[in-house]
Structure formats: C-alpha cells, structure tokens
Structure 1
Amino acid sequence: MKELPLIDLTVIVLYLAAMVFTGFWFSRRNKNAGQFSKGSGLIPGWAVGISLYATFLSSNTFIGVPGKAFGSNWNAFVFSLSIPLAAWVASRYFVPFYRKAGEVSAYTHLEHRFGPWARTYAVICFLLTQVARIGSIFFGMALALQALTGYSMTSIMLVIGLCILAYTVLGGMEAVIWTEVVQAILMSGGALLIVVLILLDMPGGAGKILETGISDNKFSLGSAAPIFTEPTFWVILLYGFFINLNNFGVDQNYVQRYHTASSEKEASRSIWICAKLYVPLSLLFFVIGTCLYAYYQENPELTGQIKLQAAAEQLGPGASGEAVAARAATLGPADYGDKVMPHFMAEKVPPGLAGLIISAILAAGMSTISSGMNASATVFSEDIYKRYLKRNASSEQHMRALLITTAIFGIIGMAAGIAMIGVKSILDIWWELSGIFAGGMLGLFLLGIISRKAGNREALAAIILGVLIILWMTFSYLIPSEYSYLRNPLHANMIIVAGTLAIFLSGSFLGWLRKPAAQKPVS
C-alpha cells in the first residue's frame, strides 16, 4: 500500500478544516432548538433539494455502487429508476401534510392518530435505521481511506467522526444544508474525474469497455420474469419504490428539510431537484463500476493484488501466505467489488487528484452522517426527551439535549461502523438492514394517512402482524433444514414490501370490519 503524498493529505486536511469552520460560522445563529433543527425556515428550495440529493449520496454510493456493478451488473440501478415515482407521491401528498402539521418531528402526528405507542414505535424504527445507515457510511469511508493511507479503519473512523461531530453539533441544520451543497458539487465532480482517469488509462478506451460490458452482460437490469425469490427487475423496483417512499415520506432526514424551505412550493420543488440530480449521477457510478471491471479484466495482475488483499482480510492477521493464496483463488468479482475503487485510486490516480477524489468520498459520507445525526437528535429530543423525560423543558434545556444527543448518535454510529468491518458488501448490508427497520414504519404511516376507519386497536394489531412477518422473513433462514419449507421463499429485499403491505392492508381490513360507534339519542 503506497503512502499518500503530502499534497493529497494537505487537500484532505483543508477540506476537513473548511467543514469544521462552517460549523463554527453557523454556531452564532443557533440561539434556540428551533433554529438548530429547522434553520432559518427561509432556505431556498434549490439549496434544500441539493441537500436532499447529497443525503441520498454517501460513501455507500461512492464505494458500494461501483463495487456492485463490478461484481454483477446494473440490476441495482433499478432502485434509482423508482425515485421519480416516489418523489411524485411525496410532493403531492406528504409535503402538504407535513407543512400543514407544522411539527418538526415526522412522528408526532402518529400519537394524535393512534396513541403514544405508535409514535414510540416509529421513533425506535427510525433511530435503529439511522444507526445502521451511519455505521455503514463510516465503514465505506474508512474502507476507501485505508486502501490509500494504510491507517487502520478504526483510526480513520474516529478522526473523521470527530470532524463531523464538530460542525454538526456547532452548526445545526443550517450548517448541514449549506455544507451539503458544497459537498454535492465536490462529490459529483469527483465521480466525473474518476471516469476520465479510467478512460485515459484504459487500453482501447470507451470502445473496449463497451465491448467487455456487453460480452459479460454487465449492463443487464435483471430478469424481467415475475419471480420474487431473486433480485429481478421487479424485486428491485418494488424495493426501491417502498424505500424511497419511506425516505421522502417518513424519514426525519427528509421531512425535517421540508420545514427549512421558505414555502410548501419550494419544499416540493426540493424533492424534484433531488430526484433529477440523483438518477443520472447514480447511473454514472454504475458506469464507473463497469469501467473498472473492463479495466481490471485488461490488467489481471492488478486483480490478483486485490484478491490477495481481500483474502487476507477475510482470514485475519494470523493467516499464512499459503492460506491467503488459496482463499484468493476462490474469490469471484462479487467477493472483492468494494475494494476495487480504493485500489484504483491508490495505484492509478496521480498526486493531487487523489486528494480531491478522497475529499469527494468524504463529502458523500459526511453529508449523510451529519444529516442523520441532526435528524436523530431532533427525533430523540422531540419524541422522547420532551415527551417522557422533561415535559416542561426550558429552551436552554432543550438546546442542551439536542447538542448532547447529536454527539451521542454520532458516537454510536462510529461504533456501528467499526462493528461492520469485514462485511462482504456495503450496499447489501445497508439494503438488508434498512428493509428490516423501515417496513413497519412506512406501513403505519400509510395506514394513518389513507385509512380513516382504522383506529388504535386496529393499528396495534396490524403492527404486531407486520413485525412478526418481518421477523420471520428476516430470520427464517435459521430454521433447520428438515423444516426448510417454513423458511421465507422471497428475496431479502421483499421484506419492506411485505411488511409494509401486511400492516397497511390488515389494518385497513380491520378498520373496515370495525362497527361504527353508536350515536347517543338526542334528548
């Protein structure tokens, strides 16, 4: 592993220092909890939209998406194709709902609709989702930087984490949004730069990449067969629609930004800006993955280096050279896809440019982590602290709780990232965890908004049924082989689809069966 040149380290340090300085700059405006959570409430829609776009991007996108395209094909791009449909639903129904409600927490209205348990349940699901997301993004950033610097992944997470804590805790939501505008520009430019560098070093250029991609079926979007046991086109489309509907309609990261915009129209506009930016850029990351696949096919000696590295990490530091070589011989592209982008940057990106690309990767991860920290702290303070711990909290006490919990969630996220070291695919682990935690939350929201007949008891029964289905689909693989017929036959990405539909449909049906309350006789 080559040492990172001083010029690249300087670029990275300057970028991190600029982000921390932004936090100090906006800290002057954070006089109360409302300012910390919603900013000025006058942020233009284009800035909010770019901020949403930056939140969608992450180190999972920068490392995981090219790794996925390298190891398989463009099947995962179908996820991005579902975003416009989810954006239409959110801008048409969810934004007006939240702007009218006026509550900074996305989950307060669930208590009005179904009772305290519903609000608490949604909060727990959201916080678990955020811990998983923040952890996976910390891991993705550390994976890239380890390949370039040789530092341990744990040390990298701690250093980057402290910088994120500084500007997020100090600057609040306004700092998060404006730093994400800068980060979005940086990460988009970094992705374009990577494509250019691959093309310049690729024997045969774009023509050879296209030829290799076609011959090895790298551009496939997946089978169009109506099969739900494999990641077909329809499985990823359904998964993407439900996850993105959850993002735009239920996730505090997004809902909180609707309140920062100057009007309902600007809030809706921000969603479409996010969708229009993200779909083409996500395609660019799949192009990067295919370009890297063709490049390493033409340079098999480099592929051997990556396989040895992946095998050594799998076996641990005590493994012998023979054992590592034997394991490396068994690895396929899907087993080391996440390591290809960091390896290319370490070996082929010239000094100076590497610092810019690393800063872009940091920008992708830091934007999502800072947003998740702020949103998690807001939810905790609004839905737990003020609801159960300190009902009559003063403005100073509320602000102190926000600052402390922002830091706590950042630390928990770092710990989750450290725990993920050694996973096979960043994208796979995040998709699976988000599908587990988000399904029940989205189903409950849809039930509350669409079904007028479902009440507290019907919603509780539906949640119990939905959670049981989610748990069975997630853990039924543990059932002994002699009872394999009891295992979940569907693909893991169908968990959020099945869980959401189970809660919404069963709750609606029970509400339909519910007898209307008897009217009191008029005296």
Structure 2
Amino acid sequence: MNRLPVIDIVIIVVYFLSMILMGIYLGRKNKSTAQFTTASGKIPGWAIGLSLFGTYLSSNTFIGNPGKAFGGNWNSFVFTLTLPVAAFIAAKFLIPFFRKTGEVSAYEHFEKTFGPWARTYTVVCFLLTQLARTGTIFLGVGLTLNALTGVDIRMIILITGAVVTVYTVMGGMEAVIWTEVVQSIIKTVGAILVLVLVIWGVRGGVSEIYHNSITGDKLSLGSFQPDFTRDTFWVVFLYGVLINLTNFGVDQNYVQRYHTAANVKEASKSLWLCVYMYLPSSLMFFVIGTCLFTYYHQHPDMLLHVKQQVAAIKLGTGATAEAIAAKAAVLTDAEIGDKVLPHFIVHKVPSGIVGLIFAAILSAAMGTISSGFNSSATIYMLDIHKRYINKNITDQQQLRILYIATIVIGLLATAVGVSIIGVNSVLDLWWKLSGIFAGGMLGIFSLSMIARHAGRSTAMIAVITGTLIIIWMTFSQTGSFPPMLRNPLHANMTIVVGALSIFLTGVALQKQHKSPLNLKKSI
C-alpha cells in the first residue's frame, strides 16, 4: 500500500470536510421544494455556467480523455467539437421552450403531448442514464485514489458516495451549483499543474512530444471515410451532436439548471459560458494524454509497472507473480490508458501538489455526481411520487421525499460503481451506456418538438419500434447472435439510429394520417 505524505492527506480531508460544511451552510435555506430543486431561481448566470461546466468536466473527462489520447489518438475530441452546434440549438429553441412551460421536470410536457406512458418512458431512461453515468464516475475516482493510496477501490467508492450524498441532501440545488463553482476552479488549476509537470518530465520537452505525436499519428481526429462500423470522425461527430442535444434538451441536470436563472437570457449565457470553458479544457486533457504517451515510452520501467498494476486488478486477489507478469506482457496501451494519469500523479508529482491534484479529480467527480443525485431525486418526486402515489402532497412532505430519494439514488449509484470495477475504459463504457438510454429520450423529444401533433398511438408505435432497434443494436453484437443477425455498426451509432428510428417512424405514420408538421409552431 502506498503512503501519502501527511500534507496530501490533510488537503484531501480538508476538501471533503469543506464540501460537507458548504452543504450544511447552504442547506439553511432549504425550507421549500422550490429552494431545494431550483434555488428559487436566484442564481446568477455566470455561476450556473460554471456549474454546467463542472457537470461536463467530470472524472470521465479528467481520467478518460487522457486515457483515450494515451491509448489511441484524438478521435474522441470530436465529441467536444460538437458542443457549439448543440448549444446553438438549445439556446435558440430549447431554453425558451422550457422557461415558457415553467415546468421544473423536463418530462412533464411529454404527458401533455403523448400521454402518461411517454412521461414514464423518458423518466425511466433518464434515471438509468444517471445511474450509468454516476457509476462510471465513481469508478474513475476509485481507480485514481487506489493508485495514490493502495486503498481498496470498493472502499474508496463507498466513502466518496457517502460524502457526496450527505452534502447533496443537506444543501439542495444551491449547494450543487456553488460547490461546482468552487470545484470548477480547483479542477482547472489541477489540470494545468499536471500538464506542466508532465511536459517538464519529458526529455526533449515540447518538440519531442510533438515529434512522437506526428510519427505515431496521435493527433488524428479519426478517419474521414464514410465508415460507421468503427471509430471514424463521422461516428463520433454524429454521436456527439445527438448526445449533447440530449444533455441540453432532455437531461434533467441541465433543464433544471435553466430554471435557477432569473430569465431566458441569463440561462442562455450560462450555457455558452459552459461551452467556452469546456472546449479548451477538454483539449488540455487530450494534450495531457499525448504528453504522457511520450513520457511513459521514455520510461519503459514505469510503463511496465502500470501494466503490472492493471494486470493485478484484472486477475484479482490471489493471482501469482507469474500470472501477473504474463498478463502485463500482453496488455496494450489502450487497456491501461485510464490508469496512466493516476500512476504519474502518485509517482512523479511532488508532495503537497498530489493532494491538490487529487482534490481536483474529486471535484471533477463530485460535482457531476451531486447534480445527478439532485436531479434524479427531483424527477422521482415530480414524475413518479407526485404523479402516481400522492398527488395532494404538501410542500414539506415533498421536501422530505426529496431527501429520502437522494439517499436511495446515492446508494444505487454507489452500487453501480462497485459492480463495474475491471472495465478497460471508463469513457468507452459511459459512451456505450449513455447511447443505449439516451437514444429513446432524444427520439421522443424530437418527435414532440417537430411532430407534436402526432397521435398518442403513433408516438407509442414509434417509440416501441425505436426501442426494439436499440435493444437489437446493443445485444446483437455479442457472440451468442449468428453473424448474419449481428449489428455491424459501431456501438456509438446506437443513439443515432435509435433516435432517428423513433423520429422517422413517427413522422412517417403522421404523414400517413395527413397530420401537419409545423416546426415554428411547435417550438
């Protein structure tokens, strides 16, 4: 087990305590449901923007992006490049729509358009998406702190889950936003420190890093061939546009944040601030991964050590030294990508800075997780409990249910994090799971915006069709399916095909019934 210097342990403990105390302090205002869910609409736009940036810049970015750059190239950066496209559509159409309805829930309007089943369908998809996302983020934290301290990954995930749940329950949405403002600053400073230290440690500096990047094709954004069976530029671009539209238009994390602003203009400003900050930040993490590639291949002993650590995790307790060595010998750069940055931090970062960088990684995780907990609890209360269990519930009873729901969701998300220990790439896993659940949400959302006069039966048939296609695309790639029945497309195309199948089926059925389409009127 590694031993952190006392100063680093103190920094980490102070960070944990600060987040809890901040939640307690801000929780004094939580006297109503509106305060817990939307901070009564009194948060300034710049703070919401930093909060949205904090939600985007999760540990999946902090660990996953350098891992992808180390093990491959910059193909995944194409996802970031689609943010302005999605932000333009959201600011132009979606934010005004949600502010006009006045509905805190992103899914209440589905019931008005297509019936109760549509609302329930999107709520289930959202909750599953949040469990998948927070689970992968917990795993990223566990991998990092395990490399730093040697503490069991399961124990790390359990402790982190408990801390985040406590300050989210006590502070509500205002605590989520203001802690994310602090966390955004910490994680940005931490990333800059890592970048400087990696470049400083490379023999030959920037010129050597650039030379290796060019000769190794590490800066490639992917093939521009119209091939949708592998990680080409177009696969990631289409995936990015649709996922980011899902985030900005269907994800309760973001829609709920729009209601914390004073007006539409402030909400739109906050979204663009998030985009302007995330673009260079995401680029920085890919640069870090590329720099780490050069550094570790200049130090083969350290590269072997990482592979041995990963091999030990994959083989589990009780594995012999011979088995670990044999497994390490066949591991590729792609398989160890997520573990390289934590390894560098623990072995090459000076004492004192280690604690600060780990606090940054925790910030990247905890902000996203806390907003997910709050929004999931809000959705449970508004779209499940208040809709199906008790419609006449008082405000104080709603507040109590929000507390309980946050705790339950925290426990479930923590359990998911523990259950996925051992995956090769946190980012790949998150992208696959989000594509499965988000495809249905985006499909029915686009249908409700552009073809909102489609009948309820038409929408239901479209959703059933799209869901069956998503299920087939997801599970047919396993070896149990005959080759001729397998999905030939890349896993990231699941959301693209799933969402389009729902939308196009709905439009086709609507045209068959000669119902008018009116984009301007629907928005």
Question: Normalising TM by the smaller chain, what interval?
Answer: over 0.9
Q: Distance in 2 between matches of 1:236 and 1:477?
A: 19
Alignment of 1:97-116 (within 5 A): 97-116=97-116
1:271 matches 2:271: yes
Give deviations 1:388-437, integer Å, cap 9, x for gaps.
01111011111100010011111111000000111111000000000000
Q: Which residue of 1 aligns with 2:521?
A: none
- CA displacement 1:144-192 (0-9 Å, x = unmatched): 0000011111111121222111110011001100110010010011100
Alignment of 1:434-513 (within 5 A): 434-478=434-478, 480=480, 483-513=482-512
Alignment of 1:167-316 (within 5 A): 167-316=167-316
TM-score, scaled to structure 2: 0.97
> How big is the shift at 1:478?
3.1
Q: Does 1:55 align with 2:30?
A: no
- Asked if 1 retains the 8 angstrom alpha-carbon contact of 2:454 and 2:515, the reply is no
Deviation at 1:452, TM superposition (A): 3.7
**1:55, 1:477 → 2: CA distance?**
31
Cα displacement (A) at 1:29: 0.4
Structure 1 distance, partners of 2:477, 2:180, is 40
Distance 1:86 1:246 in 2: 9
**1:83·1:244 contact (CA, 8 Å) conserved in 2?**
yes
Matches within 5 A, 1:328-347: 328-347=328-347
* CA distance in 2 between partners of 1:32 and 1:332 (Å): 53
After TM superposition, the structure 1 = structure 2 runs for residues 310-389 of structure 1, keeping only pairs within 5 Å, are: 310-389=310-389
Between the aligned partners of 1:365 and 1:200, the Cα distance in structure 2 is 27
**Which amino acid counterpart does residue 253 of structure 1 have in structure 2?**
N
Equivalenced residue count is 516
Matches of 2:425 and 2:261, distance apart in 1: 36
2:519 corresponds in structure 1 to none
Q: Which runs of 5+ in 2 are unaligned?
A: 517-523
The corresponding residue for 2:78 is 78
Q: Which amino acid aligns with 2:374?
A: N
Shift of 1:119: 0.1
Q: Which amino acid aligns with 1:92?
A: K
Letter in 1 for 2:506: G
In structure 2, C-alpha distance between the alignment counterparts of 1:488 and 1:339, rounded to whole Å: 31
CA distance in 2, matches of 1:344, 1:84: 33
Question: Which consecutive segments of 4 or more residues in structure 1 shift more than 4 A?
Answer: none
Q: Distance in 2 between matches of 1:2 and 1:141?
A: 16
Q: Is the 8 A contact 1:23 1:167 kept in 2?
A: yes
Residue in structure 2 matched with residue 25 of structure 1 by the alignment: 25
User: 1:241-273 CA deviation, whole Å, 9 max, x = no partner?
Assistant: 000000001000000000000110000111111
Offset at residue 516 of structure 1 (A):
6.2
CA contact (8 A) 2:32 2:399 kept: yes
The amino acid across from 2:475 in the alignment is: F
Distance in 1 between the 2:253 and 2:19 partners?
20
Give the aligned partner of residue 521 of structure 1: none
Unaligned runs of 5+ in 1: 518-523
Determine if contact 1:453/1:514 at 8 Å carries over to the other structure: no
Q: Give the distance between the partners of 2:208 and 2:14, measured in 1 at CA.
A: 38
What amino acid is aligned across from residue 265 of structure 1 in structure 2?
A: K
The answer to whether the Cα contact below 8 Å between 1:453 and 1:512 also exists between their aligned partners in 2 is: no
> Are 1:462 and 1:503, in contact at CA under 8 Å, matched by a contact in 2?
yes
Supply the AA of the counterpart residue of 1:36.
F
1:2 positional shift: 2.8
Q: Percent identity?
A: 56
Q: After superposition, where does 1:72-151 map in structure 2 within 5 Å?
A: 72-151=72-151
Contact 1:453 1:508 in 2 (8 A): no
Matched-pair contact (CA < 8 Å) for 2:66–2:285: yes
In 2: Cα distance, 1:21 partner to 1:328 partner: 43
Check if 1:160 corresponds to 2:178: no
Paired with 1:181 and 1:453, the residues of 2 have a C-alpha distance of 41
CA contact (8 A) 1:137 1:369 kept: yes
1:468 alignment partner, SS class: helix
The alpha-carbon deviation at position 19 of structure 1 amounts to: 0.7
Equivalent position amino acid for 2:433 in 1: L
How far apart, in 1, do the equivalents of 2:22 and 2:448 lie? 39
Scaled by the length of structure 1, the TM-score of the pair is: 0.97
RMSD in angstroms over aligned alpha carbons?
1.1
Q: 1:334 to 1:167 in 2, by over 3 A?
A: same
Q: Hey, what's the Cα distance between the residues in 2 that align with 1:318 and 1:407?
A: 35
SS in structure 2 at match of 1:227: coil
